[in-house]
Amino acid sequence: MAPSTPTPAITRADDSRTGIGRTAVTETTSRTRVTTIPASAGASRGVRGRVGAARARLVRGAVVVAAGWGRVRDATASAAREVGASVAPAGWLVLVAATAGLVAGLVFGWVEAIVAAICAVVLLALSVPFLFGARGYDVTLDVAHEHVVAGSTVDASLRVRNTARTTALPGRVDLPIGDGLVEVAVPLLRSRHAIDRMVSIPALRRGVIPVGPAVTIRTDPVGLVRREREWDDMHELYVHPRTVTVPATSAGLVRDLEGSASRRLVDSDISFHAIREYAPGDARRQIHWKSTAKTGRLMVRQFEETLRARLAVVLSLAGSDFASDDEFELGVSVAASLAEQALRDGRDLEVVCGAEIPRVAQGRMRAIRTLSAPTPRTLLDEFSRVSALERTMPLEEVCRLVVETMPDLSLSFLVCGSNVPVERLRRAALAFPVDTAVVAVVCDERAHPRRQPMGALTVLTVGVLEDLSGLLARGVQT
């Protein structure tokens, strides 16, 4: 059988315009196929294509319009914010007066109102050039010393440089210092020129004083418009409490350079106590052979247990314990003086005070705060941040928590105000072990300095900071 030859397939479609069908011929391998395409199907596909293209153009146009409207809206809002921030209240008042005068002059024919409105508009127009060049300044702030003692004064250097290519009109620099504000007038500055101004910062009271950031202000002489720029340069001035030099905190209380000799007797240590008779279980290396030869009985050496001298300064932060703010500042200075001397003596130091307790947890929560004391400067920086608290634990509870967390203390100073009675001081001292020497320092500006031994507790009353050194020296002599 001869192979079949491909024959063309004929497809017929009517022309949509003439009504005459078109015939499409396709080749097939076996037979001829004739397909007729209606004219309405081609027309509908063409209409759908044109509608889809028009819809896509419409969507693209809507997207472009929405994006443009968003940019216009953002630009308008930004311009409104700039105008609102640049126009001072006096400027808004002049603008309202100009509008009202112009309306009244046109409605009622008042020439005076129109003249006043024109003058107000001219005044506003003349104030606008003073806003130009507000960002042409370069401000540098430098504080001579960032760590000072209360009652001193520190100098700060303020440098203003015109970085623009044109001459800058006069302006002003506001320098916030704590709760105050220092205004520095900037004269007419030529391009690339600078001025230096010295600012004296009074550090009268202890605390941390933020200095800066400086704010450059451009305004007109009348004060209608105003433009500000805040700089990032900011400093913290640490105002340390006043301190005095006191005798070594271990003198008269810690008798061993390697540690404090306790009242507990042990068989082996470095602080020799006495010779006693041998008892079963004693180590043979502790036998004292010379005494054994003299008495004819075995005698052994006995020692006092020595502990590493670890000192704690506990400062009461309860505002109710102090009669006034000055008395609280005296307490902070006393605690800082004792702690600073302990660091110089090379003692293991813990400076503890009560922590603030939330109102909802008051009475059910115990918390203390330990000040970091690696170096004297760091310790004094921590004291600069201390403040009196309304909701905190009483001194007795603070001492109990201190003993729970630091059981191996050899000497403790309790610093409080004149509102703490002796009974509370005794209860606070009872929280410490028997081997711990406890000294309470009561700050009372109305009392004379005195020293009162009360058994295991020693109470020192200071009226001024200088009394502390004399009272401690007197205790050493005693």
Q: What is the DSSP string of 29-48?
A: SS---EEEE-HHHHHHHHHH
pLDDT at 142 over 50: yes
- Helix ranges restricted to H, 214-324: 289-295
For 159-168, how does the pLDDT look when each residue is reduced to its tens digit (9 = 90+)?
A: 999 988 888 8
Instruction: Report the topology of domain 310-477.
Output: Rossmann fold (3.40.50)
Cβ atoms of 262 and 435 within 8 Å: the answer is yes
Cβ atoms of 250 and 309 within 8 Å: the answer is yes
pLDDT value, residue 195:
92
Q: Which residue has the higher pLDDT, 420 or 77?
A: 420
Taking the C-alpha atoms of residue 18 and residue 14, their distance in angstroms, rounded to an integer, is 8
Q: Kind of pairing, strands 235-240 and 207-211?
A: antiparallel
Taking the C-alpha atoms of residue 453 and residue 430, their distance in angstroms, rounded to an integer, is 15
**Peptide bond just before 213 cis, omega within 30 deg:** yes
Q: Which residue has the higher pLDDT, 257 or 347?
A: 347
State how far Cα 272 lies from the chain centre. Answer: 53
For 277-331, how does the pLDDT look when each residue is reduced to its tens digit (9 = 90+)?
A: 888 878 877 888 888 888 888 888 886 655 556 889 999 999 999 999 999 999 9
Q: Which residue has the higher pLDDT, 267 or 422?
A: 422
What mean pLDDT comes out for the span 48-76? 80
pLDDT value, residue 51:
67
pLDDT at 196 over 90: yes
Taking the C-alpha atoms of residue 330 and residue 337, their distance in angstroms, rounded to an integer, is 11
pLDDT at 177 over 60: yes
Specify burial of residue 352 (Cβ count, 10 A radius: 0-12, 13-18, 19+).
buried
Q: Which residue has the higher pLDDT, 211 or 169?
A: 211
pLDDT value, residue 272:
58
Single out the residue of 461, 367, 380 nearest to residue 414, CA to CA: 461
pLDDT at 477 over 80: no
pLDDT value, residue 44:
60
Percentage of residues in the chain having pLDDT higher than 90:
33
Positive or negative CA dihedral for 327, 329, 335, 340? negative
Specify the CATH architecture of the domain 137-240: Sandwich (2.60)
pLDDT at 8 over 50: no
pLDDT at 443 over 90: yes
pLDDT value, residue 147:
93
Specify burial of residue 40 (Cβ count, 10 A radius: 0-12, 13-18, 19+).
exposed
Question: Cα angle vertex 368, ends 367, 374, to 5°?
Answer: 150
HSE-CB at 177 with a 13 A cutoff on CA atoms is 22
Look over the chain and give the mean of its residue pLDDT values, rounded to a whole number: 81
First-to-last C-alpha distance (Å) of the chain? 141
For 245-262, how does the pLDDT look when each residue is reduced to its tens digit (9 = 90+)?
A: 988 755 444 433 344 444
pLDDT at 468 over 90: yes
Extended beta strands in 20-167, E state: 21-28, 34-37, 137-143, 147-149, 152-162
Specify burial of residue 89 (Cβ count, 10 A radius: 0-12, 13-18, 19+).
exposed
Single out the residue of 276, 81, 185 nearest to residue 73, CA to CA: 81
What mean pLDDT comes out for the span 171-190? 89
pLDDT value, residue 464:
94
What mean pLDDT comes out for the span 16-45? 47
What mean pLDDT comes out for the span 350-368? 85
- List Cα–Cα distances, 359 to 114, 322, 363, 393, 403, in angstroms: 64, 21, 9, 12, 25
What DSSP designation does 6 have?
Answer: P
pLDDT value, residue 131:
74
What mean pLDDT comes out for the span 359-386? 88
Q: Kind of pairing, strands 152-162 and 194-203?
A: antiparallel
Residue 475: which pLDDT band, with cuts at 50, 70 and 90? low
Residue 38: which pLDDT band, with cuts at 50, 70 and 90? low
Number of CB atoms found within 10 A of residue 431's CB: 19
pLDDT value, residue 4:
47
Cβ atoms of 255 and 248 within 8 Å: the answer is no
pLDDT at 462 over 80: yes
pLDDT at 132 over 90: no
pLDDT value, residue 49:
66
Taking the C-alpha atoms of residue 19 and residue 429, their distance in angstroms, rounded to an integer, is 118
Question: Cα angle vertex 273, ends 271, 278, to 5°?
Answer: 120
Domain boundaries, the chain: 23-86, 137-240, 260-306, 310-477
| Window from 51-60, 61-70, 112-121 with minimum mean pLDDT | 51-60
Taking the C-alpha atoms of residue 369 and residue 366, their distance in angstroms, rounded to an integer, is 11
What mean pLDDT comes out for the span 98-126? 87
pLDDT at 24 over 60: no
pLDDT value, residue 256:
39
Single out the residue of 268, 264, 263 nearest to residue 287, CA to CA: 268
Residue 204: which pLDDT band, with cuts at 50, 70 and 90? confident
pLDDT value, residue 307:
54
Cβ atoms of 320 and 284 within 8 Å: the answer is no
Helices and strands (H and E) in the chain: how many: 9, 23
Taking the C-alpha atoms of residue 104 and residue 102, their distance in angstroms, rounded to an integer, is 6
DSSP string covering 163-219: -SSSPBPPEEEEEEETTEEEEEEE--B-TT-EEEEEEEEEE-SSEEEEE---EEEEE
For the beta sheet containing 7-14, the strands, ordered from the edge strand earlier in sequence to the opposite edge, are 21-28, 7-14, 34-37
What mean pLDDT comes out for the span 358-383? 88
Place of tokens 């910062």: 201
